[in-house]
Amino acid sequence: MRMARLFVVPVLAALSLSAQEPSLSGTWTQAKADDIAAAINVTVADMNFIKRPIARGRLAKLNPAYRKVMIAISDKEVLVKFDERDAIHMLPGGKASPWTREDGDKFMVAAQVGKDQMVQTFKNDEGERTNVFKLSPDGKSLTLTATVKSPQLPKPLTYTITFGR
């Protein structure tokens, strides 16, 4: 009987560990990033020579290759913090709420959380940005695909950054 108890405990512990799903929540550090400057150049290539450098500069400033992202997801709130920037607090379930970026620009921001991904959207009169955070099947990496659209741009800017735990 003692032998049976010794066997059951490790098996139950293993079952509870394997039943735990990998989570988007946590602190992630950049493992690799697209060449964002090159992606910006492709996006602005068809703009006239006066608007092109202005758009390039603004896109470069607002789309850094983030080194770290912290995500916290609960029933009451979704929080995303890039590098040393202010945390972005959102309601779960995709309901948009007002948010003001550090430079004073105002947006409606929303987060829609699924099992292995989160879609974060920012919208204002100048355009929109969508961040899709996708968790790898093993839970060890997180890929951010960012897409920026604006009526001022001839085509969307899209790039990816991959993070590890």
Residue partners of 143: CB distance under 8 A and separation at least 6: 133, 134, 136, 160, 161, 162, 163
What is the tens place of the pLDDT at every residue in 18-66? 445 679 999 999 999 999 999 999 999 999 999 999 999 999 999 999 9
All domains of the chain, ordered by start, with CATH? Answer: 22-164 (2.40.128.20)
Q: At 57, is the secondary structure helix, strand, or coil?
A: helix
Instruction: Provide the percentage of residues in the chain whose pLDDT is more than 90.
Output: 85
- Over the stretch 83-123, which tens digit does the pLDDT of each residue have? 999 999 999 899 999 999 999 999 999 999 999 999 999 99
Cα distances (angstroms) measured from residue 60 to each of 7, 149, 157: 58, 14, 11
Token pair 């608007």: residue: 51
Residue 112 forms beta bridges with which residues?
Answer: 119
Give residues with Cβ within 8 angstroms of 102, minimum separation 6: 85, 86
Q: Vertex 128, ends 42 and 88: CA angle to 5°?
A: 115
Is residue 129 helix, strand or coil? Answer: strand
